[in-house]
Amino acid sequence: MNAYDRSLAGGPRSDWTRAEIRKIHDLPFPELLFHAQEIHRRFFDPSRVQLSTLLSIKTGGCPEDCAYCPQSAHHDTGLKATKLLDRDAILTAAREARDSGATRVCMGAAWRSPKDRDIAELSGIIGDVKGLGLETCMTLGMLTGRQAQALKDSGLDYYNHNLDTSPEFYGKVILTRTYQERLDTLEHVRDAGMSVCCGGIVGMGETVEDRVGMIHALATLPKHPESVPINLLVQVKGTPLDAAARVHPIDFVRTIATSRVVMPRSMVRLSAGREDMSDEMQALCFAAGANSIFSGERLLTTPNPGDDRDSALLARLGMKTDGAAKTL
Ligand code: SAM
Ligand code: DTB
Ligand code: SF4
């Protein structure tokens, strides 16, 4: 039985080897796309895409040194740091996202980790946003087991915490937080019973083997993340990765397709970087098994295509959103 058949036969596998994943990644492109499409159809409606909207609830001034990130206080990107937004401002933005078709709001904070009093404040906010009929996701940095449990008890559905790249390349990108610390937070989120959103970034100067290593790290977590965001680096002036070598679009699509094949039941989110992608590239990503995007004009701090361009693209492709309120 080949690696791909084993993936389907026994349900999602967590014992992938890097060599198996590399082999899938390097298949002739039409073969790779075929496998990805076959698997995608087995578990999802390939004409549907889920929309999440990002909301930066605490922007900039972050003590971490992530080389890609405009919000790190280590880089001079000209971004103005803010305090945690108040409850009303968050609720208003969440309502707008819902009315534009989003089914989930992902609230991001530029923290290394939240303080316990932040968690108390956020508990009420989670209840408010859920009250709008939205799923909730937060990305706040590292969590202790108790903090993860408190967020779960407040009703938080998803927690986003990325591995970002392969264990080998990681040290070239971030020095203030270890890979193991990321794995520990992911374990706390799982143990608390929340759904996990975990992925990474392509386009930071990593090798193909690093991309395979990242997918391997994700696919060998004790349980596959329910949601796997694949970001194309948004190059921001003032960050050390401002001029990183650009990734060929086909190579990016390979990362999406490989993720789809090895994590068949996960939502694969075409995340940051869509602003710079052609319609054709995004269409290939959907054909390769991506089934979720961030909607709206802004990611956390950088531009995103916005509803007009997205609705035109999805209409051209004959694809539908799962938006409860309105179809984009
Ligand atoms: N501060 C929290 C943390 O890092 O754990 C949460 C927010 S952080 C902005 C969430 C993720 O956004 C990062 O892990 C990274 O994958 C992604 N990201 C940040 N800057 C990016 C960029 N310039 N291009 C693409 N993805 C980026
Ligand atoms: C993820 O993987 N991508 C999103 C979300 N999780 C939090 C963030 C992308 C941020 C892109 C840079 C910015 O807008 O600041
Ligand atoms: Fe801070 Fe998160 Fe940006 Fe890293 S990615 S600098 S932790 S906001």
| Ligand nearest to C-alpha 269 | 2
Q: Which domains does the chain have, with CATH numbers?
A: 3-7+21-314 (3.20.20.70)
Ligand 3 mean position, distance from CA 234 (Å):
14
For 15-57, the pLDDT digits (tens) are: 999 999 999 999 999 999 999 999 999 999 999 999 999 999 9
Pocket test for ligand 1, best of 57, 66, 176, 234 (most atoms within 8 A of CB): 66
Residue 302 Cβ contacting ligand 2 at under 6 Å: yes
Q: What is the 3-state secondary structure (H, E, C) of the chain?
A: CCHHHHHHHCCCCCCCCHHHHHHHHCCCHHHHHHHHHHHHHHHCCCCEEEEEEEEEEECCCECCCCCCCCCECCCCCCCCCCCCCCHHHHHHHHHHHHHCCCCEEEEEECCCCCCHHHHHHHHHHHHHHHHCCCEEEEECCCCCHHHHHHHHHCCCCEEECCCECCHHHHCCCCCCCCHHHHHHHHHHHHHHCCEEECCEEECCCCCHHHHHHHHHHHHCCCCCCCEEEEEECCCCCCCCCCCCCCCCHHHHHHHHHHHHHHCCCCEEEECCCHHHCCHHHHHHHHHCCCCEEEECCECCCCECCCHHHHHHHHHHHCCEECCCCCCC
Average per-residue pLDDT for the chain: 94
Residue 299 Cβ contacting ligand 2 at under 6 Å: yes
- pTM confidence score: 0.96
Percent pLDDT > 70 in the chain is 95
For 253-273, the pLDDT digits (tens) are: 999 999 999 999 999 999 999
Minimum mean pLDDT range among 100-109, 131-140, 155-164, 278-287 = 100-109
For 214-249, the pLDDT digits (tens) are: 999 999 999 999 999 999 999 999 999 999 999 999
Atom of ligand 3 nearest to the CA of 111: 1
